[in-house]
Amino acid sequence: MTINFICDFNPFYTSSAVANRYEGILRGLMQNGIRVNLYVIGGYQSIGEYSGKKLNEFSLLKTKYLVPWLNSNLTLRRINGYLLRRISMALCNAQFKKLLCEPVDYCWIAGGYVIRNFLINNKGINKSKLLIEFSEYQQLYKDDKSLSDRVRNRLEEEFRVTCEFLKYVDSILVITKCLEAYYKTLAPAKVKFMHLPMTVDSSRFSN
């Protein structure tokens, strides 16, 4: 089995709760003999990541960066994020079309607005089943009174895109049953759900 895993960042070089979860998932998949094609949207975040030496231990992992920019400091991030934005989007879209047509078993969407919006605008381009994982509720910003109207409007647009994108996925993975119940109110009835627990099992400590 082969899975295309599309992510905004490389979880093997990023330190965060989300990155740690993704790294654990990818390691588990490979330990069970599944080939993983990791596609990174957001470029390289460090010089060490650019060297790629850390990933040599994984024989079942193939990594490709859709945008070959280095974002190791604020200046580079601003240049790549603003001045080279149109070029980045063109490169991403061209690569998306190629990888979504690859004959793999599943395409796991771990990326955000960019890949979701692309799939909405290119309905039916994918040749494999689409998976997406959620670890939190949508529209958490609703209660944040400190946000500007510009930021709030951007988040509303991202939420709209996410809801539209759910029409085209085959399965949604969630870390709690409460999240499963919530996303069933947003997704079509045809979408399958899988409980992928990554929280503390309180029953183990009941005694």
At 68-97, the pLDDT tens digits run 888 888 898 889 888 888 888 888 888 888
pLDDT tens-digit profile of 13-29?
A: 888 888 888 898 899 89
The span from the CA of 82 to the CA of 79, in Å, is 6
| Percent of the chain predicted with pLDDT > 70 | 94
Cut 0.95: pTM above it: no
**Amino acid in the structure at residue 45:** Q
pLDDT tens-digit profile of 38-71?
A: 999 888 888 888 877 667 678 889 999 988 888 8
Asked whether residue 98 carries a pLDDT value surpassing 90, the answer given is no
For CA atoms 126, 127, 133, 137, the dihedral sign is: positive
Residue 108 or residue 125, greater confidence:
108
Asked whether residue 33 carries a pLDDT value surpassing 90, the answer given is yes
- Look at residues 165, 167, 197 and name the one whose alpha carbon lies nearest to residue 180: 197
What mean pLDDT comes out for the span 189-200?
Answer: 83
Confidence bin at 108 (pLDDT 50/70/90): very high
With vertex at residue 128, the alpha carbon angle to CA 124 and CA 134, rounded to the nearest 5 degrees, is: 90
